[in-house]
Amino acid sequence: MSSPRLASARPERAEVESFQLDHTKVIAPYVRLIGCEHGPAGDVISNYDIRLAQPNETTIETGGLHTLEHMLATYLRPRLEGYIDCSPFGCRTGFHLLLWGEHDTREVACALKAALEDIAYRTEWEDVPGTEPESCGNYRDHSLFSAKEWARRVLEQGVSSDPYERICV
C-alpha cells in the first residue's frame, strides 16, 4: 500500500534568534543575553550565549567540549542562582546557559571567569564528574587536557560581557 501524498504547503517555521545573529560581527570570548522567556505564572527563564571560540574560525574539539560541559555544570551551579543547564552549541564554539530569572551579563561573565579559572588551574581528572559508563552517555569522549587548554586560552583573551566590544570582567 502506498503512503498518502503529503500536502505541498511548507511547515510552519519559528524564527530562531541565534540564526539572526551576524556571527561575523561578534568577538569571542563573551557572554550575551539571547533572550528571556516569560511563563504564564510570571516565571522567567534567561538564555545566554557563552561563546568561547570565534565563530567560523575555530572550534572546540568534542572531548574538550564535553569535559567543559561537565565542569561548567559543576562550577557554575553554585555561582549562579537559578542555574538550570549549560549545553554545548552544535557548532562547538560555546554553550547555551539557561537560568531562572534575569541576570546581568556582567554577573554571568564573572561566574564564567571564576569557573574557567577552576578548570584551568585547580581541576584534576578525579574532579571531573560523569566519566563512567553509568553516569555519561559517551564517557570515553572526554579530554581534561583540552578543557584546561581552552579555559586558559579564554582567560588569556578575557571574558567580555559584550559580544561586540571587549568589555572584559
Which domains does the chain show, CATH number per domain? 25-126+138-157 (3.30.1360.80)
Please write the tens of the pLDDT for every residue from 87-146.
999 999 999 999 999 999 999 999 999 999 999 999 999 999 999 999 999 999 999 999
Residue 19 pLDDT class (50, 70, 90 cuts)? confident
Please write the tens of the pLDDT for every residue from 25-76.
999 999 999 999 999 999 999 999 999 999 999 999 999 999 999 999 999 9
Residue 5 pLDDT class (50, 70, 90 cuts)? low
pLDDT of residue 2: 56
Stated pTM of the model: 0.91
Distance of alpha carbon 161 from alpha carbon 151, whole angstroms: 17
